[in-house]
Amino acid sequence: MSQNKYDDPHFFTEYSKMPRSIHGLDAAGEWSVFKTHMPALKDKKVLDLGCGYGWHCQFAAEQGARSVIGIDLSAKMLEKARQLTSAKNVDYQQAAIEDFAADTASFDVIISSLALHYIQNLETVFENAARLLVPQGELYYSAEHPIFTVRAQQDWIYAADQQPIYWPVDHYFEEGKRETHFLDANVVKYHRTIETHVMALIKAGFEITALIEPTPPSEMIKKMGWENELRRPMMLIIKAKKKS
């Protein structure tokens, strides 16, 4: 069953307070790296899986995409996305990532930002993405890094003075559900290894063209006080091309 925490009023309110929700992509620590490796979007038909506020859909349109479809399970997210999006060639649709259906070879590029760690069956999503893409079409996504998802606590081990000592890794190879606490709510995420990401893509018919562990730019680290973000990876970015 698909999880839809973002239509919970309290959860959505807390999410709306995050810097990336207020200031957009420029307040997202991974954005400078994600943007750098983005597939070419000009004249492309683009699909955004788990589009949230629609920031990436608007960006794709600004880069000259022919058409953009953003899907999200949350009605509140889609309402906000429609308010924020000025591009006329962006269409938002309410659907779970796992259930989205369209004609075969409907898209040139599929993107997804920090949504796939909520998905239980990643293999099915990759198989559907391969069906939806044209030959040589590209899948490009970010997700929480396995080092980050491995423990349900998703937090540091702290000293008595509350300074973080180290980020613990345990039960790395025990993939599956993690019931964690995020934005003052219990949230279900799914832990999987880097190997699982890569092999599932290969099995679905993709060739890996980039694997990136992003860090925020130095000016953002200083401004936001994110020095600890250089001590362990929080996100994983993968770019893959569908084989002909």
> Is beta strand 90-94 parallel, antiparallel or unpaired with respect to 67-72?
parallel
Assign 194 a pLDDT band (cuts: 50, 70, 90): very high
pLDDT of residue 185: 86
Query: Is the pLDDT assigned to residue 1 strictly greater than 60?
Result: no
> For the segment 131-190, what is each residue's pLDDT rounded down to a tens digit?
999 999 999 999 999 999 999 999 999 999 999 999 999 999 999 999 999 888 899 999
**Could you tell me the domains of the chain?**
5-146+191-242 (3.40.50.150)
Alpha helices in the chain (DSSP H): 9-15, 19-23, 31-36, 55-62, 75-84, 122-132, 146-149, 194-203, 218-224
The total of other beta-carbon atoms located within 10 Å of residue 58's CB is 21
Residue 107's H or E segment, with its range, is strand 107-113
Assign 244 a pLDDT band (cuts: 50, 70, 90): confident
pLDDT of residue 125: 98
Contact, 176 vs 117, CB < 8 A? no
Return d(Cα 47, Cα 50) in angstroms, integer.
10
Exposed/middle/buried for residue 187 (C-beta within 10 Å: 0-12, 13-18, 19+): middle
Query: Is the pLDDT assigned to residue 8 strictly greater than 90?
Result: no
Average model confidence (pLDDT) for the chain? 96
> For the segment 25-60, what is each residue's pLDDT rounded down to a tens digit?
999 999 999 999 999 999 999 999 999 999 999 999
Place of tokens 């996100």: 235
Q: Is the pTM of this model over 0.85?
A: yes
**126's tokens:** 């990759």
Assign 2 a pLDDT band (cuts: 50, 70, 90): confident
pLDDT of residue 184: 84
